Amino acid sequence: MKWMLIVSGLLAACAAFALLRAWAGKGKSNKGEVSLMATVKRILTNGEGQYKGVFIARGQEVEFAIPAHIARQLQPGERGVLTYRGGEFVYFVPRQQLFEAEGEGQLRAVS
């Protein structure tokens, strides 16, 4: 009879541990995201309102489909932080926007 109590106690402890791990893992909102300093090489359009951005990051060219409102703001040669998840573009923050106007040396939160 004691062994049933021990087994049920162990199962409850394992379940609580599994729930705790699942809850802790939920807080990682940037799961799989990569952020790199990159340079805009060129912005391509197919004439149908779809844009592709070609960036140079770590010496390699990477290409992503990007939203039109972002494509219109980017200029070739512009440097900034490129964030992507797998083969999907997340955002690009130009270097001059990373720093607040009030104080040099302070990074602005970009999330």
Shared domain check, 41 and 91: yes
pLDDT along the chain (111 residues), means of 10: 74 60 56 88 87 93 91 92 90 77 51 43
pLDDT for 111: 43
Confirm whether 103 is domain-assigned.
no
Residues 67 and 86 both lie in one domain: yes
104 inside domain: no
Asked if residue 74 is part of any domain, the answer here is yes
Structure confidence at residue 2 (pLDDT): 79
Specify the pTM: 0.60
**CB-based contacts of 40, cutoff 8 Å, min separation 6:** 53, 54, 55, 74, 75, 76, 77, 78, 79, 80, 92
pLDDT at 64: 92
- The answer to the question of residue 76 being in a domain is yes
pLDDT score for 96: 76
Range of the domain at 2: 1-28
pLDDT given for residue 24 in this prediction: 56
